[in-house]
Amino acid sequence: MSTLVIADHDLGVLSPATARVVHAVAELGPVEVLVIADDAAAIAQSVAAIAGVTKVLTASGNSVADSAEALLSTLAVRYHYVVASAGSVGKDVMPRLSAKLDLMPVTDVIEILGPNRFVRPIYAGNALQTVTDNQPKHILTIRASAFRPAAGGNNAPIETIDTPVISTAKLIAQHRTESDTPDLATAQIVVGGGVALGSAENFKLIEQLAKKLGAAIGATRAAVDAGYAPNDWQVGQTGKIIAPDLYIAIGISGALQHLAGIQGAKKIIAINSDPEAALVKLADVALIGDLFEIIPQLIAELEKASVHR
């Protein structure tokens, strides 16, 4: 059984999610990866190095949903599985592809039990559902944060698809947050801030602490809605789903939709003035006090540690 994975990339750089998706589906059979980009060469080389990839396909164009769906519906006849990460592109493209092929997609997969048995969260992550998919083909989106990345060291062949990706939609503009922090969806350490920070200016404390720890930055929906943090930092059911080794939650009470986004975190440290907050009770370690006193102290101690290293 063969598998086609759609590569995630941004600004000419392969997303870490792709290696995780490849690892997730490696047991299903030979894995080929499709890169759709105006200039796919560098991205394709990065994909070719991922262990388990048997071939890299490149197509000229962009991953706007209608154009990607048209290409994928043509390619799908070759594969038993067509797979994408459960990110923005996957959530946009895969439902359209499923409708075109008259197939039911299985979304947000966090475990693969067999060729047609998949585990996915339901009810905002409060329960897990095992889906048996008896269709002739399988359309999957994978929650990348639930899987470790595949190793490197491969040198898969690269093949160009002659047919260009033609789109009836036009990408007018992209609005993005420039940051040198790790990718939020796949980071090992995440520092998250809530609405208790009170302003975008105060949110810089979160950025400072994250920089000291080499961590990604997250935010609650309330903090994003208040304008304290950009949309792409939002963690939760309506934001990004994360599964870091360590999540430091600062001034976050623990709304259900936020908790749904951090259930994969291995360790949680909560910093909050309210000992009864839901996230405080869930945390492995809780620091009760004023975050505006605790965070500067943490940053100062981290600076001392780095000096004495």
Residues 89 and 195 in one domain: no
> Based on the domain organization, do 11 and 152 belong to the same domain?
yes
Pair (109, 212) in one structural domain: no
Last residue of some domain: 93, 125, 160? Answer: 160
Question: Does the pLDDT at position 210 exceed 80?
Answer: yes
Q: Is residue 23 part of a domain?
A: yes
Whole-angstrom distance, CA of residue 219 vs CA of residue 205: 12
Q: Return the ∠ at Cα 125 (arms to 124 and 129), rounded to 5°.
A: 110
Q: What is the pLDDT of residue 37?
A: 87
Q: Can you say whether the dihedral through the CA atoms of 278, 281, 285, 287 is positive or negative?
A: positive
Q: Which residues contact 139 (CB under 8 A, 6 or more apart)?
A: 81, 82, 83, 94, 97, 98, 101, 103, 104, 105, 106
- Average pLDDT on 25-31 reads 95
Q: Could you write out the three-class secondary structure of 229-247? A: CCHHHEECCCCECCCCCEE
The model's pLDDT over 237-281, given as tens digits with 9 standing for 90+, comes to 888 889 899 999 999 999 988 998 998 899 999 999 999 999 999
pTM to 2 decimal places:
0.84
- Over the stretch 85-98, which tens digit does the pLDDT of each residue have? 998 889 889 999 99
The pLDDT > 70 percentage for the chain reads: 93
- Same domain membership, residue 40 and residue 103: yes
Report pLDDT for 127: 87
State the average pLDDT over residues 124-147: 92
Q: Given a cut of 80, is residue 194 above it in pLDDT? A: yes
Q: Which residue range forms the structural domain that includes residue 193?
A: 184-307
Q: Name the pLDDT band for 129 (thresholds 50, 70, 90).
A: very high
Whole-number pLDDT of residue 182: 86
Question: According to the model, what pLDDT value does residue 135 have?
Answer: 96
